[in-house]
Amino acid sequence: MIVKRNTKEEILERLWNKINKKKPLFFASCGTGLVAKLLEKAGVDCINTFHGGRLRSNGMGSMSMLWPILDANKQLLESTEHDIITAIKGDAFICACVNANDPLRDMMVIIEKLKSIGVMSICNIPSIGDYDKDSHIYQVLTQSGITLENEIEMLKLAKEMGMVTATMPYNLEDSIKIVEESKPDIFCFHAGTTKGGLIGFDTPYTIEDTAERSEETFKAVKEIKSDLILMAHGASLVTPNDGQYILDNTSTHGVWTGSATERIPIENAILDIAGKFANLKFSK
């Protein structure tokens, strides 16, 4: 097969055309080719691939990507090249989430590899930003050389190499720093791990809190870079109604889902249908 290629200019033009027509953008993460195929068929603009998505598809929580298991970028490259990009037509573009703190790889090599398989967008996930700055583990990691600065440098390099750059910070402080220094094309505020389902996080944030925190950050980063494409993600953004609330109460250009359009629907569908099969009865 031949994977359809999209240039940076084509991707951004497509997104801005939709924004200018007042149509919300829809990005979604996934870890399998089947889900990627279904997302594209449903009309997603961007399919986000990352090794946390692959782990999530295997029954672990999304944040298992932060555990010291497996090789994050190896998982990303394998699933993107062999499972996901080969399953879609190319109507949606792929955004790959890269571990910029990988001590085993040169980020230029990673970016060139992604470009060679047809990926022209990159995001800095997993991120050190998911750890509380006053925590012991954050201090240990940063002193060991795992830093937000490495993520910023990767985004700057990717931009120089002709990639669409996206970032997904977890707090206002990191959001401002990343936008000031890397000037990404796409900014998505990560409001927290998605709640719901079998392995969702019991977030303390309501949908109202999620919208308020997202909008506070959107206003701040727009003052730095006015042409940012804004996306909202996580916490209590779980259902289409939640997504509509976010669209109605923030300045976002769209929603970026993960578990909400992958893990939770799969859990619900299989539990429902498999449960009915498991409860079949002989008529005689």
In CATH, what number is assigned to the domain containing residue 134?
3.20.20.70
90 lies in some domain:
yes
Helix axes 148-160, 107-116, angle to 10 degrees: 50
Put simply, whether the predicted model's pTM sits higher than 0.85 gets the answer yes
Total Cβ atoms within 10 A of residue 67: 11
226 lies in some domain:
yes
**Would you state the pLDDT for residue 264?**
86
161 lies in some domain:
yes
**Would you state the pLDDT for residue 196?**
56
9 lies in some domain:
no
**Would you state the pLDDT for residue 59?**
67
Quote the number of domains for the chain. 1
Six-digit token pair at 266?
Answer: 């799969």
* 95 CA to centre of own chain: 8
Which of the residues in the chain have pLDDT under 50? none
11 lies in some domain:
no
Q: Rounded to whole angstroms, how far apart are CA atoms 91 and 94?
A: 10
* Total number of residues shown for the chain: 284
160 lies in some domain:
yes
Q: Rounded to whole angstroms, how far apart are CA atoms 71 and 181?
A: 28
80: Cβ contacts below 8 Å, ≥ 6 apart: 49, 94, 96, 114, 117, 119
**Would you state the pLDDT for residue 203?**
63
Specify the DSSP element, H or E, that contains 47: strand 46-49
**Would you state the pLDDT for residue 100?**
96
**Would you state the pLDDT for residue 202?**
60
13 lies in some domain:
no
Q: Rounded to whole angstroms, how far apart are CA atoms 181 and 13?
A: 24
Q: Rounded to whole angstroms, how far apart are CA atoms 266 and 97?
A: 22
**Gyration radius of the chain's alpha carbons:** 19
Range of the domain at 233: 23-274
